[in-house]
């Protein structure tokens, strides 16, 4: 992303802040795995959204005394010995180029910087990104700073930036849509590679290898989230990550995967028969999901409560299952329809939205339309998941580039 994108994101954030305030965002750092080994570092998504910086232990500070805001980026200092082992660190100039933040300092100066602002009465309110999902998570840097400030300066008001950041991230900018479309082409290439290598006797890890290899050939070295790739009975585990199962003749393959391009993620699911030809029962069920998904893309537009999206899909999907005689009463739908999936997608595969908001669909939102059918008595389970962009007048299926109709899937697989 260009630095203008990040600058505009920050401007919107600062507009939401009170005068006499200070906002602090952290890039985070990798937790230790075992011995002296660390998990791969993954920069805090909101930090990247606001700065474009993906280096460990970076901090963005925004001081807003009145109307204007003074920004400072704190970075790890250059250390030639450490850099021999871990690679070059960002220089101040490079960080300015990426983020558009003018003032650069080193992280050693951070605490003094905050103390000085507070002690000279320049800060009444401190904004932090409190992003715990559960209470028992270890404290992130934001929580640690809040504890420090509370104990030293109990008169400071502390506020959570999270609702505002979530609100902003929910509406995608044109450059994010472009990145998502590029990612969709790469996701498509990965899924088509799996379809075209598919055959009975293939292991799930071999499908995964095809997907990862194709992404890597497009410069995408890690998928946007851990891929779900399963065969046959394993499709009945919604979040399956073992990859050890074998595809037997007549099995469906399920995948729930996505490439990431320029920090924007896809989330796409397809199901196909490993032998390339839908059986009668597979066809029956797939047509139900396909009709439901098409219906959703037909009706989705601005102004619809998000909570109705999954409900509408569920009701329509139930009608399809009823038409083929699989269930009779809506109350029985849960036997076959195990989940919804209308979650926003973007910098995270599950872009969190503010829980207090009764969200209404609006132009620029991108969320998944995820239609799953799990029929254990027939041994068939799969889902059809696409990425829906809400436009001014309706919606667009961004992942329509990946084969999704029975005809298209069989045609692609016929080219093996």
Q: Smallest distance from the beta carbon of 221 to Mn ion, in angstroms?
A: 20
Looking at the Cβ atoms of 228 and 395, the one nearer to Mn ion is 228
Q: How far is the CB of 390 from Mn ion (least distance, A)?
A: 18
Nearer to Mn ion, 276 or 346 (CB): 346
Q: Which window, 39-47, 78-86, 267-275, 403-411, contacts Mn ion (CB under 5 A)?
A: 267-275
Among 141, 210, 267, 351, binds Mn ion (CB under 5 A): 267
Binding string to Mn ion for residues 214 to 253, with x set by CB under 5 A, is what?
A: ----------------------------------------
Residue 246 or 400 with smaller CB distance to Mn ion? 400
Cβ nearer to Mn ion, comparing 172 with 343? 343
Nearer to Mn ion, 6 or 188 (CB): 188
CB of 389 to Mn ion, least distance (A): 16
What is the Cβ-side half-sphere exposure of residue 369, based on CA atoms within 13 angstroms?
A: 33
- In the complex with Mn ion, the residue whose CB is nearer, 60 or 368, is 368
Identify which of residues 204 and 256 has a Cβ nearer to Mn ion in the complex.
256
CB of 269 to Mn ion, least distance (A): 5
Strands 70-75 vs 103-106: parallel, antiparallel or unpaired: parallel
CB of 385: closest distance to Mn ion in angstroms? Answer: 5
348 binds Mn ion (CB under 5 A): no
Residues of span 382-401 touching Mn ion by CB under 5 A? 385
**Distance of closest approach, residue 406 Cβ to Mn ion, in angstroms:** 21
HEC string for the chain? CCHHHHHHHHHHHHHCCCCCEEEEEECCCCCEEECCEECCCCCCHHHHHHHCCCCCCCEEEEEECCCCCEEEEEECCCCHHHHHHHCCCCCHHHHHHHHCCCEEEEHHHHHHHHHHHHHCCCCCEEEECCCCCCCCCCCCHHHHHHHHHHHHCCCCEEEECHHHHHHHHHCCCHHHHHHHHHHHHHHHHHHHHHHHHCCCCCEHHHHHHHHHHHHHHCCCCCCCCCCEEEEHHHHHCCCCCCCCCECCCCCEEEEEECCEECCEECCEEEEEECCCCCCHHHHHHHHHHHHHHHHHHHHCCCCCEHHHHHHHHHHHHHHHHHHCCCCCCHHHHHHCCCCCCCCECCCCCCECCCCCCCCECCCCCEEEEEEEEEEHHHCEEEEEEEEEEECCCCEEEHHHHCCCCHHHHHHHHHCC
Q: What binding mask, one character per residue, do residues 31-70 give for Mn ion by CB under 5 A, x or -? A: ----------------------------------------
Q: What is the Cα–Cα distance from 88 to 79, expressed in whole angstroms?
A: 9
Size of the site for Mn ion (CB under 5 A): 3
Q: How far is the CB of 248 from Mn ion (least distance, A)?
A: 24
Least separation in angstroms between CB 408 and Mn ion: 20
Q: Figure out which of the listed residues 256, 310, 348, 386 binds Mn ion, where binding follows CB under 5 A.
A: 256
Give the interface segment with Mn ion, choosing from 61-69, 128-136, 281-289, 378-386 (CB under 5 A): 378-386
Residue 210 or residue 267: which is nearer to Mn ion going by CB? 267
Please report, as ranges, the residues that interact with Mn ion according to CB under 5 A.
Answer: 256, 267, 385
């Amino acid at each position: 992303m260009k630095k203008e994108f990040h600058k505009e994101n920050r401007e919107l954030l600062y507009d939401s802040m009170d005068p006499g305030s200070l906002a602090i965002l952290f890039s985070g750092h990798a937790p230790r795995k075992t011995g002296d080994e660390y998990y791969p570092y993954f920069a805090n998504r909101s930090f990247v959204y606001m700065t474009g910086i993906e280096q460990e232990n970076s901090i963005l500070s925004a001081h807003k005394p009145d109307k204007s805001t003074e920004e400072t980026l704190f970075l790890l200092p250059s250390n030639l010995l450490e850099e021999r082992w871990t690679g070059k660190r960002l220089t101040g100039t490079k960080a300015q180029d990426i983020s558009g933040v003018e003032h650069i300092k080193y992280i050693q100066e951070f605490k003094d910087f905050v103390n000085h602002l507070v002690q000279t009465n320049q800060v009444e309110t401190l904004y932090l990104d409190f992003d715990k999902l559960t209470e028992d998570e270890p404290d992130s840097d934001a929580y640690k700073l809040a504890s420090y400030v509370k104990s030293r300066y109990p008169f400071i008001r502390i506020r959570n930036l999270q609702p505002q950041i979530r609100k902003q991230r929910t509406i995608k900018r044109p450059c994010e849509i472009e990145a998502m479309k590029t990612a969709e082409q790469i996701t498509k290439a990965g899924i088509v590679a799996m379809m075209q290598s598919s055959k009975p006797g293939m292991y799930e890890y071999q499908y995964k290898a095809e997907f990862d290899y194709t992404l890597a050939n497009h410069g995408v070295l890690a998928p946007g989230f851990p891929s779900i790739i399963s065969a046959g009975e394993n499709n009945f585990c919604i979040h399956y990550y073992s990859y050890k199962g074998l595809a037997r003749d007549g099995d469906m393959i399920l995948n729930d995967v996505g490439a990431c391009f320029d920090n924007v993620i896809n989330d796409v699911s397809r199901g196909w028969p490993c032998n390339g030809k839908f059986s009668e029962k597979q066809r029956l069920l797939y047509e139900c999901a396909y009709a439901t998904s098409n219906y959703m893309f037909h009706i989705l537009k601005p102004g619809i409560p998000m909570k109705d999206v999954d409900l509408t899909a569920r009701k329509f999907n139930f009608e399809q299952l009823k038409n083929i005689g699989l269930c009779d009463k809506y109350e029985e739908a849960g036997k076959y329809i195990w989940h919804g999936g209308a979650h926003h997608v973007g910098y995270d595969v599950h872009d969190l939205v503010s829980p207090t908001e009764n969200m209404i669909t609006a132009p620029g939102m991108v969320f998944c339309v995820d239609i799953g059918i799990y029929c254990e008595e027939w041994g068939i389970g799969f889902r059809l998941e696409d990425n829906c962009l809400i436009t001014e007048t309706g919606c667009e299926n961004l992942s329509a580039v990946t084969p999704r109709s029975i005809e298209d899937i069989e045609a692609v697989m016929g080219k093996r």
